[in-house]
Chains A and B, each alone.
Chain A
Amino acid sequence: MMIELKNLTKIYELNTNDKVIALKDISLSINEGEIVVLKGSSGSGKSTILSLIAALSKPTSGEVIVDAKQISKLPDSFASVYRRDNIGFVFQKYNLLTNLSVEDNILLPLIPLNPSQLEVDAKIDEVMKKFEIIHKKDTLVRNLSGGEQQRVAIARANVNDPKIIIADEPTANLDEKLSLNFIEILRELKSLNKTIIIATHDPLFFGLDFIDREIQIDNGKIA
């Protein structure tokens, strides 16, 4: 999966006088199967890059091309479908529905597809087993530990078998042991030839052997 960012600029208009320039004319290419780490302090724009690749927002100018397809200007329904089919997003705050069970949370991305019962069960079970939370499938998410919640978030991100995994500050709320755990999961995902992009300022990620590239982002530009 070739991801290409071409001259991307993103300006947030909070109100008519207040503007935040998150990205300034950024260009970047990521190859299929690569693991890329975006380094930078908060506010540097790395989260914005992730959000643009996931078609969660649209650029003010420039293009985002994924797998030879221009996704930056897709109408909402197509952007959502693209995201659903190709992107597994692990958010910083996990963004799980805490009043639902583990199984129900993982089910969420599948609902709009209107799948058959069999397909659903198969996919969910597979991903719950893989990330080792199947034993808690009926537990409400709010009753899980931090590490367990993270595994649910990762499982949900993988349930549609996406080609691209995006993680925004994945270890921000974890202790070292769980962080290392997460890194192991990443290693495994890489072996499945997934393209992985991580935005983080956690030093644990720097200098790892299986990371292909580290890109520094400062003030909306590549350093």
Chain B
Amino acid sequence: MSSKINIYLIKYAINSILRQKYKTFFIVTIFTFLVFLLTSIFFITNSIRYELDSTVDALPQIIVQKIKAGRHYDIDVDKVDEILELSGVSDAVARVWGYYYFENAGVNFSVVGIDKYENQYKNSLQSIVNKFDFEESSDEPFMVVGQGVKEVMNSSYFKEYFNFIKPDGTLKKVNIRGVFDSDTQLESNDMIVMSNETIREIFDIDETKATDIVVKVANPQEVSMVASKIKLMLPDSRIITTQDLKISYQNIFDYKSGVFLALFIVSLFTFFIIIYDKSSGLSSEEKREIGILKAIGWRVDDVLKEKFYESFIISFFSYMLGSTLTFAYVYIFQAPVLREIFVGYSQLKTTFELPFIFDLQTLFLVFFISVPVYVAATIIPSWKVATLEADEVIR
């Protein structure tokens, strides 16, 4: 184990790198780009996942849906009372919601119904109830919409109200009372909130039915236990907990990142070959240089160490540069182009900001994939150079 770091050797290595301008520039550019690409993808998915996790945390802990023939069906509202009787359950609310397809603009609105007297299952909905007084009677049905919805409706010339087409083909006019903002932009942009009566009319859902039931559990540790109790009680139901959602999100993201990682590996492998090739094709100049060094007293180990410093400096520099560029790209410029790959489900969901997350583990991950691989590619070429016979070279 060596003692001090040899600064002169490091300086020589840096000097040597700078002397081979074109080759170095080529390598650094490609490598930085690869690191940049990979890190960007990880940062983007991390941020989106964070957003999604925050969204999920805002959701109720358990969602109960009725399943018939493997598909989602409307659930009976009276099941709510049964659920409320279970110990550990602090609240249960029947929800009516759905997607309304607006053919003109080719977009889906998420329509959510609320009952002004019941406890809202989400704080944001509670503040909507408070802000936009839902006391008004049903002969003037109204709704509150998200920013994205407003814009779409505007562009179809629906400024004060909107005509929903009911399942029987008749129109239902609903006034737009206001526009809301919510905790996270991701999920509220395409949302419409209206009273339960109105939404039941638009989607033709009976009073005794609801889309699903959301359940709040007093003690978060008991969520899975309550979930299994409900399952026992309602065998034809599907229970979704927030934990399940988080796990499935993580898996989706891991999958997507995995796909890109696979692509990255292919490029890295190609890069590996290129590096190997370039390092092996020793110019006579380089051979002569090493020969001279050995002739004046450099040992094989010294040459190897110098070569190692060279490859480490190049790869580490590219790594730092790539990562820094990524920070700027993702968090300052909000990752144009790349984010579409991960976010793009509907046109209304794109205007949100990627939150800044400093994930050390990702940085380590990218480091391990890049730097050691590059250094590995240079092991054999460096060795070949270092073990040249000085004698033969300098004659």
Contacts and interface: CB of A to CB of B under 8 A. Distances in A.
Direct contact of A and B (CB under 8 A): yes
Interface of A: 47, 51, 54, 56-57, 76-77, 80-81, 83-85, 89, 91, 93, 95-97, 99-100, 104, 107-112, 114-115, 120, 156, 160
Contacts of B395: 47
B301 interface: yes
B390 interface: yes
| Interface of chain A: mostly helix, strand, loop or mixed | helix
| Interface of chain B: mostly helix, strand, loop or mixed | helix
B394 A95 contact: yes
A89 B295 contact: yes
A110 B394 contact: no
Given A57-B389, A95-B394, A80 B8 contact: no
Interface stretch (B180-188, B202-210, B286-294, B350-358): B286-294
30 contacts: A47-B395, A51-B391, A54-B295, A57-B389, A57-B391, A80-B294, A80-B297, A80-B302, A83-B295, A83-B297, A84-B296, A91-B295, A91-B394, A95-B288, A95-B291, A95-B292, A95-B295, A95-B394, A96-B292, A97-B292, A99-B19, A107-B8, A108-B292, A109-B297, A111-B6, A111-B298, A112-B6, A112-B297, A114-B9, A115-B8
B8 A56 contact: no
Given A47-B395, A81-B299, A84-B296, A114 B8 contact: yes
Contacts of A85: 297
Nearest to B293: A108
Closest 4 CB pairs of A and B: A84-B297, A80-B299, A57-B391, A77-B299
Given A77-B300, A99-B19, A112 B295 contact: no
Contact of A76 (B6, B12, B299, B394): B299
Contacts of A47: 395
A112 B391 contact: no
B131 interface: no
Contact of A77 (B15, B19, B292, B301): B301
Nearest to B389: A57
Nearest to B301: A77
A120 B297 contact: no
Interface of B: 4, 6, 8-9, 12, 15, 19, 288-289, 291-302, 389-391, 394-395
A112 B289 contact: no
A95 B285 CA distance: 11
Contacts of A83: 295-297
A97 B15 CA distance: 12
Contacts of A110: 8
Contacts of B391: 51, 56-57
Nearest to A117: B7
Given A47-B395, A91-B394, A111 B299 contact: no
Given A89-B296, A95-B295, 15 more contacts: A51-B391, A54-B295, A77-B299, A77-B300, A80-B294, A80-B298, A83-B297, A95-B291, A97-B292, A107-B8, A108-B298, A112-B9, A112-B297, A115-B8, A120-B8
B9 to A, nearest CB: 6
B292 A112 contact: no
Contact of B9 (A80, A109, A111): A111
B6 A100 contact: no
B296 A56 contact: no
Given A51-B391, A77-B301, A91-B394, A109 B296 contact: yes
Contacts of B291: 95
A72 to B, nearest CB: 13
Contacts of A57: 389, 391
Contacts of B8: 107, 110-111, 114-115, 120
B16 to A, nearest CB: 10
A18 B291 CA distance: 24
Contacts of A81: 297, 299
A54 B391 CA distance: 10
A114 B6 contact: yes
Contacts of B295: 54, 56, 83, 89, 91, 95
A96 B291 CA distance: 11
B135 to A, nearest CB: 83
Contacts of B288: 95
A133 B294 CA distance: 24
B14 to A, nearest CB: 12
A16 B202 CA distance: 93
B296 A156 contact: yes
A152 to B, nearest CB: 12
A112 B302 contact: yes
A211 to B, nearest CB: 25
A156 B295 CA distance: 12
B384 to A, nearest CB: 15
A96 B394 CA distance: 11
Interface centre among B291, B293, B299 (most CB of A within 10 A): B299
A160 B292 CA distance: 16
A112 B4 contact: no
A89 to B, nearest CB: 6
A70 B169 CA distance: 106
A56 B390 contact: yes
A110 B389 CA distance: 21
